[in-house]
Structure 1
Amino acid sequence: MSKVWIGLFRGINVGGNNKLPMKDLTRLMLAAGLSDVKTYIASGNVVFRSDLGDAVLEALIGDLVETNFGFRPSVFLITLSHLEKVLAENPFRDHEHKGKAQHVFFFKAPPSKIDRDLLDSLKDDSEAYEISDELMYLYAPEGIGRSKMVEKIGRAVKADMTARNLNTVETLRDMAADLEG
């Protein structure tokens, strides 16, 4: 039986760069044999079914985008059970501000460097974070756009990563759960 996957694309449709229309992505993924493909907002979120393994899927999806759009994004594939674990372990789930104030940074592989001193020096007094080898949770009630930590996170955390706010993570979980039935 095929498995339900959540795919997160890094750095697409941001500032007019790496344009990837979701309708075209859906069509290409269906033509490549993936099923029940559904996208969510233009920032590169897709839920689908496949019996292929994660490494094969990452290569396939990367090839589809590169061949048809001229760039190769990082593709992060996550299972429903992993996404449910991420939500259950969110250290900020009981905070007053949810949704857009809470973010999850997913790492493709464990970071080669985590500079906690730099993260702490960039962190606003209202912000909080927890980081592991798999991901980072960020609580930013003043907004991610105002966060100095987010602006310079690439200096403090050396990893291929992509971030989603809590609203998006919960929506993707719900979409994947609906597919899994």
Structure 2
Amino acid sequence: MSRQVALLRGVNVGGRNMVSMAELRKLLESLGFEDVKTHLQSGNVVYTSGKSPEAAAAEIEAALARDLGVPVPVLARTGTELGEILKANPLGDVAADDALHLVTFLSDKPDAGPIKALDPDAFKPDVFKHVGKEIYVWCPDGVRNTKLSYSFWEKKLGVTATARNWKTVSKLHELATAG
């Protein structure tokens, strides 16, 4: 059994894919997940499971579409993995505002070729770094203004992606590792 975090993409945004957090908790409990907690209204769920994060994400994604009519991608990480993501932070020396410092979570570790082929200067003032199954992004002019959105990475890398700001990732790690 491990504490995990499911990251639902695109729920409760712009009046689309509306899911109450109480309904989301109830859905996960009905799937057998334990100690289910939600954070914010944007599809962040912490739970305990004996399944791998990938298997849990697939089950949650299928249940959302089947039971709630909300077909959205779901990615998951363990609390330990979130701790490693926070510790790795390759942008800690430049990211000065947690709301503008993003972690883009990827469904798979991408081939490094397409990332290496990108010219970092083409995205300035934004900065990005790839580590494992995450892309760290610093958007000093605002998240809405960055070209380095989750959809950019999906198209460029051929993976499913979703992003959370540093403050949210830190809080999810705290919830996933609280004793």
Q: What is the TM-score of this pair, normalised by structure 2?
A: 0.86
1:166 aligned onto 2:156:
no
After superposition, the CA RMSD in angstroms is 2.2
Matches within 5 A, 1:2-13: 2-13=1-12
Unaligned runs of 5+ in 1: none
Matches within 5 A, 1:114-129: 114=114, 116-118=116-118, 120=120, 122-124=122-124, 126-129=125-128
Assess if the C-alpha contact under 8 Å between 2:105 and 2:161 holds in 1.
yes
1:98 aligned onto 2:97:
yes
1:40 aligned onto 2:39:
yes
The CA deviation string for residues 5-45 of structure 1, in whole angstroms up to 9 with x for no partner, is 11111222222222222110101112222111100112210
Q: SS of the residue aligned with 1:28?
A: helix
Aligned partner of 2:58 in structure 1 is: 59
Counterpart amino acid of residue 114 in structure 1: P
Unaligned runs of 5+ in 2: none
Q: How far apart are the structure 2 equivalents of 1:35 and 1:15?
A: 30
Across the two proteins, how many residue pairs are aligned to each other? 177
**Which 4+ stretches in 1 moved above 6 angstroms?**
none
Shift in Å at residue 142 of structure 1? 1.5
Assess if the C-alpha contact under 8 Å between 1:10 and 1:73 holds in 2.
yes
Assess if the C-alpha contact under 8 Å between 1:119 and 1:153 holds in 2.
no
Q: How far apart are the structure 1 equivalents of 2:55 and 2:153?
A: 29
Q: SS of the residue aligned with 2:105?
A: strand
Q: SS of the residue aligned with 2:77?
A: strand
Among the aligned pairs, what percent are the same residue?
A: 28
Aligned partner of 1:177 in structure 2 is: 177
Q: How far apart are the structure 2 equivalents of 1:79 and 1:96?
A: 24
